[in-house]
Amino acid sequence: MEVCLTPDLIHQHRLEGKLVVVVDIFRATSCIVTGLAGSHIQAIRPVSTVEECLSYGQKGYIMAGERGGIQVDGFDMGNSPLEYARLGKNSAIDTSQKVAITTTNGSTAILKSLAAREIIIGAFLNLRAVADYIIVQSRQHPLRKDDSTTGGGVLIHCAGWEGRPNLEDTLFAGALIDACAGTQGLEACGDSALLARELYRAQTSHHLQNACVNPDLRPVALESDHGKRLVRLGHADDVHFCMERDKYDIVPKLNGEGEIAVAPTG
């Protein structure tokens, strides 16, 4: 398993033939997982610009997203997973519509992965489901010989922040590598993958020594740049929610129409 720490480094990875897991813990991929898991939304279309999102709004899509962590003026929704979790309950938004989403980093990471064989969406909220999906896929698409120089069949693409790596996505990459450990063909490959895995293991070794199955990563996440930014913007509850593990048992996947929907399992 390879890790790309920021979309600005994606040109250094070969995408063709790979299964790419896109991750933007704070908060785009946590929103996508929550939206598709619990709110009756059938599909979410990632787009790169505010203008593109507005044009999908005219076609009946719910317009969602942020710039700098703040909801875009005129959009129906911002980029809070808790907002997605409330959809369909007391919300005035019609969840039979699809969502068009544009965010500072997360939607870019998805759109920069389009050359991959398959793109799925990861977050701590669906970590186990993603790990299980990858393990099954790795049996169906075993490594070809020529993959050995490029790191194998799975690439975790971290959204980072404006071209820089970030703590929370790197931690997730390490957690996913750790969750797949022991499966042939899913070893950590390259220094970015080792860095992510060792970061995760360093953060969790204390918990594991105390036999805690789900280590609490919230304290370290609150130290991250975007964790602090979200707290400043009044979204501390989002930070806590995004660090919850295995809340949802779904794997969102980009389809041929450019929309993300729940991947069939089994």
Residues that bind ligand MLT (CB under 6 A): 24, 26-28, 66, 69, 79, 103-106, 159
CB-based closest residue to ligand MLT:
103
Encoded tokens for 107: 């939607």
Q: Are 119 and 22 in contact (CB under 8 A)?
A: yes
Encoded tokens for 187: 């070893």
| Residue whose CB is less far from ligand MLT, 27 or 112 | 27
| Residue whose CB is less far from ligand MLT, 121 or 186 | 121
| Residue whose CB is less far from ligand MLT, 21 or 186 | 21
Minimum separation from the CB atom of position 134 to ligand MLT (A): 23
* 64 CB burial (10 A radius; 0-12, 13-18, 19+): buried
The whole-angstrom separation of Cα 201 and Cα 81 is 26
Residue owning tokens 């490029």:
150
Minimum separation from the CB atom of position 106 to ligand MLT (A): 3
Encoded tokens for 231: 């707290």
| Residue whose CB is less far from ligand MLT, 2 or 24 | 24
Q: Are 171 and 156 in contact (CB under 8 A)?
A: no
Minimum separation from the CB atom of position 140 to ligand MLT (A): 31
Chain centroid to CA 106: 8
| Residue whose CB is less far from ligand MLT, 106 or 174 | 106
Minimum separation from the CB atom of position 239 to ligand MLT (A): 9
Minimum separation from the CB atom of position 235 to ligand MLT (A): 7
Within a 10 A sphere around the Cβ of 234, how many other Cβ atoms?
9
> What are the phi and psi torsion angles at 76 (to 5°)?
-75, -30
| Residue whose CB is less far from ligand MLT, 54 or 111 | 111
Rounded to the nearest 5 degrees, what angle is found at the Cα of 176, between the Cα atoms of 193 and 83?
Answer: 120
Minimum separation from the CB atom of position 78 to ligand MLT (A): 7
- The length of the chain is 266
